[in-house]
Amino acid sequence: MARIDSKVIFVTTSPRTPSKMIPEIELLNQHFVGQPWNDETQRAFMECLKEEDFFNGKATNDPAFSARDRMNRAPKSLGFVKLSPIIALTPAGEYLISAKRKEEIFLRQLLKFQVPSPYHKPSDQAAKFWVKPYLEIFRLIRHFGSLKFDELMIFGLQLVDFRQFDAIVKKIECFRIEKAKKEVNYKIFKRECLKKELFSIYEKEIRTGNTKTRESKGKSIDKFLRTKESNLRDYADACIRYLQATGLVNISHIGRSLSIIPERIKDVDFFLEHTDRTPCFIDNEKKYTDYLGNASLPILLTDNKKAVIEKLNREFPLISINKMATIENLKDLLDDAIIQRKEQMIAEQITAVKDYKFYNDIQNIFRQIENKDIYDPSLMLEWNVWRAMTMLDGGDIKANLKFDDFGNPMSVAQGNMADIVCDYGDFGLTIEVTMASGQKQYEMEGEPVSRHLAKIKKATNKPTYCLFIAPTINEACVAYFYALHNINITYYEGCSTIVPLPLSIFCKMVEDSYKVDYTPHPNQVKRFFERSNELVKTSENEQVWFEQIKQEALNWLSIG
C-alpha cells in the first residue's frame, strides 16, 4: 500500500509512455509467475530485462528498487499484475498482452483507477480524495469540447473529489473570461493565475512554514512553488499520455489542447453515463483486486453487439457482416478495419508529403519546436523529421514511432531501435533525434545511437549511415561520433559513420531540396555521408570536422 501526500489529482507517472509497460509485463509473466515478489526476484527480473531488445535503460546501483519502480507503479496500480502473495497476471494483464489493439483494455483500467483504494491511501496531509481521476478528466474534456493543457494543469488536477466537478468547471470558465478580457501577454497572465492557485492549494504549508521539499534543503517559498509547479506539469503530462493510450482523445500539439475524437464521442458519452463515479472496495483489497483486474469491467459501448454493428455500418459501410457473428467476432472485424484505415491514412499522408504539399507545415513545426512552442516536442521532432525525409523521396522511410487510429503521432519509438530507418536500396540510413542537450544528450544518446546503427547494419548486410539531429549538439557527442568514424569495433559492425547536425541546418537541407527543380537522388544522400568519412581523415580534430561537415550540409546538393 502506498501513502499519498498529494494535494492534487494523483495519477501514475511511470512508465511515461503506457505502451512501454507491455513487454515488461510479458517478461514478468514468462519468467516469474508463481514466485514471491522479493529482493531476489526483483534483481533477477532486472537481469532478464537488461538482456531484452526493448530495454533502453541504464545500469543502476539498486536493481531491486528499479524493478519495484517498474512493476509497483502503473502495472500494479492499473490492475495488470498482482505481486502478493505471489506474482501473477490478472485477466486484464493477460488480455493486455494478447489483445491485437490495446486501447480498449487501457480504457477499462483507467476508468477503474481510484483514490482512495487499498493500493493508495491518502495521508493526513493529503487532499480529501474521493475520485476516479481519469473518469473525471474525460468528463471535463467532454464538457468543454476542448480543454487546454494549461487548464488541465492549473485547474483540472484540483478535481480530487468528483463532487467538486462543477466548482472546477466554474474556475475554468472564469479563467477563460479573464483571459479574453486581459490585454497582457498570455504567459504572464497564466503565471499569475498559476501562482494564485498554488497559494490556494498549499495555503496551510505556506502559512505554517512547511515549505521544505525533497529537492531543496531550504524553506524558500519560491523554490517550494517552483517544485509544486513542476510536479503539476509532470502529472498533467502523464495524465495526457495515459488518456491518449485509450484511442479516444485527440491531442493538438500546436494548440496544446485535448478533445474527444469525433468518431468516439458516443463511446465516451456511454461510459460517462454508466460508470459509477464513487470509489469502491476502499477497505477490501481482495474485492478491489478482483474488480480492478476484471478485463470486462466497466461495461463499454463496444460490449453491445448492436452498437458495434452500427459502428461498422457507419464507418466501414463496404464491410460485409455475418449475422451469426459473435460480439468478439465483430470486435475483431472492427479492429481489423480500424488498422487498415490507419495504414491507408498513413499511406495517403506519405503520398501528399512526397508531393511537397506539407512543406510549409513541416518547416513551421520545426520553428515551433526550436521556439519550444509545441506540446511534446520530442514526439513532434521525431514525426516531423520522418515527414521531411519522406518528402525527399527516393527510399523506403519507416518511422518507428506509434501512430493513433487516424495516422496521427502518438508516442515515440520504443527503446533499442532507431527512431527512423531509411532503405535506399544499395545502402541504408538510420536517423536519431533528441530534444536533450548538454551532458545529458551524450549520456542518453551516445552509445545507443551507435548500437542501433550496428543492429541495422547486421540485419541488412549493406552500408548504413546515421544522421543525428538535435536543436543543439553537445560537444561530447561530436567527439564520440567523430572517433567512431575511424575505430573498427566488432560490436558495432566496424566503423560507424554518424553525422550530428543541429536542427537548424537540417531545416536548411530540407529547404534546399524544396527549392531545386528536381527530386534529390539517394546517391546525393550517400555522397554526403561519404564526404564525412573523407573529412574525418583530414581534419585536425573533432571540432574542425564538425564545422566542416556542417558547411557541407549547407551545400549538400552540390557535393561532387
- Which domains occur in the chain, in start order? 2-293 (3.90.241), 356-554 (3.40.91.50)
Model pLDDT, residue 442: 93
Burial category of 54 from C-beta neighbours within 10 Å (exposed 0-12, middle 13-18, buried 19 and up): middle
Average pLDDT of the segment spanning 476-481: 97
Burial bucket for residue 160 (CB in 10 Å: 0-12, 13-18, 19+): buried
Give the confidence band of 2 by pLDDT, cuts at 50, 70, 90: confident
pLDDT tops 70 at residue 18: yes
- pLDDT over threshold 80, residue 445: yes
Percent of all residues in the chain with a pLDDT value above 70, rounded to a whole number: 98
User: What pLDDT digit, counting tens, does each position of 185-228 carry?
Assistant: 999 999 999 999 999 999 998 998 888 766 555 568 889 999 99
pLDDT of residue 215: 55
Angle, CA 440 vertex, CA 438 and CA 441 arms, to 5°: 75
The per-residue pLDDT of the chain, averaged, comes to 94
Q: Residue 219 has what pLDDT?
A: 67
Strand 81-82 versus strand 498-502 pairing type: unpaired
Q: In the 3-class helix/strand/coil scheme, how is 316-365 assigned residue by residue?
A: CCCCCCCCCCCHHHHHHHHHHHHHHHHHHHHHHHHHHHHCCCCHHHHHHH
Q: What is the mean pLDDT of residues 444-459?
A: 93
> Does position 487 have pLDDT exceeding 90, yes or no?
yes
The answer to whether 234 touches 8, Cβ cutoff 8 Å, is no
Torsion, Cα 78 272 256 180, to 10 degrees, reads -140
pLDDT at site 519: 85
Those residues with Cβ within 8 angstroms of residue 515's Cβ, 6 or more apart along the chain or in another chain: none
Please state the rounded mean pLDDT for residues 14-36. Answer: 94
Band of pLDDT at residue 59, cut at 50, 70 and 90? low
Q: With bands split at pLDDT 50, 70 and 90, how would you rate the model's confidence at 46?
A: very high
pLDDT at residue 272 greater than cutoff 60 = yes
pLDDT at 313: 95
**Main-chain dihedrals φ then ψ at residue 65, nearest 5 degrees:** -65, -40
Instruction: Write down the pTM of the prediction.
Output: 0.89
Over the stretch 390-441, which tens digit does the pLDDT of each residue have?
998 779 999 999 999 999 999 998 777 999 999 999 999 999 999 999 999 9
Place of cell 491485437: 100
CB 156 within 8 A of CB 140: yes
